[in-house]
Amino acid sequence: MASYPKDQFDQLPADLTRIGAHRAPKKGGRGWIGFAWALLATGLLVFGGLFGLSKFLGIDVGLPIFAAAPTPTPTPTPTPTATPITDPKTIDPARGIKITILNGTPTVGIQDTVSTSLTTAGWPIDSAALASQKDIATTTVYYSDSKNEDVARGLVHALGVGKIRLVSVDTFPGSPLTIVLGADYPIPTPAA
């Protein structure tokens, strides 16, 4: 086999440092540095992912560091209610109050009975008819102007049952107040 002449690069010095194009063997323990960098990068990615889930998507990851600060719940202010008008003679005629009664129950003619009873008491009843549905559960007095809340509350008082509800003018056009009788309205028993 052919032999090549020896030069200065064939002999390794005692300190094993770099000489020319040759490199010395790696020192022991240098693998931990790469592992530490990889561990740090993984930790930062996991932390960033958990932070993103908790802050941007609102997912609770179960760690207190990512818990959102509790938002104070506002104390609801009570809505002022109008004093019910229990005597229909005190309603100002200039208000133009007209009351419609709709029967939302399967009981036939109950709208006429209620109409007669309220008219006798002095309430300005305009008309009484059948509702489009016969399965209404709760008697409700609908009013389309907030100024008529006092009259609506008075009607609930006069009926002895029901609730009130403010609706748009288009819900019951032409009638500022509409009573829809429901299944909770007590059906009068006929006299024997």
Per-residue model confidence as pLDDT tens digits over 108-141: 889 999 999 999 999 999 999 998 889 999 999 9
pTM above 0.75, yes or no: no
pLDDT at 192: 47
Report angle CA 189, 130, 144 to the nearest 5 degrees. Answer: 110
Phi-psi category of 142—alpha, beta or left, where left has phi over 0 and alpha has psi -120 to 50? beta
Which amino acid type is present at position 45? L
Tell me, what's the pLDDT at 96?
87
Strands 140-143 and 177-181: antiparallel
- Give how far Cα 5 sits from Cα of 2, 32, 89, 131, 192, Å: 10, 41, 130, 116, 138
Q: Which residue has the tokens 């990851």?
A: 61
For the chain, 192 residues long, the average pLDDT of each consecutive 10-residue run is 76 62 64 87 90 75 65 64 86 89 91 92 92 90 91 92 90 88 79 48
Q: 183 to each of 5, 103, 128, how far by Cα in Å?
A: 115, 10, 17
Closest by alpha carbon to 178, among 120, 94, 114, 90? 114
Please report the pLDDT score of residue 22 as a whole number. Answer: 57
Q: Which of 142, 131, 82, 127 is nearest to 103 (CA)?
A: 131
Classify strands 140-143 and 163-166 as parallel, antiparallel or unpaired: parallel
| C-alpha distances out from residue 34 to 28, 38, 41, 48, Å | 13, 6, 11, 21
Q: How many CB atoms lie within 10 A of CB 127?
A: 14
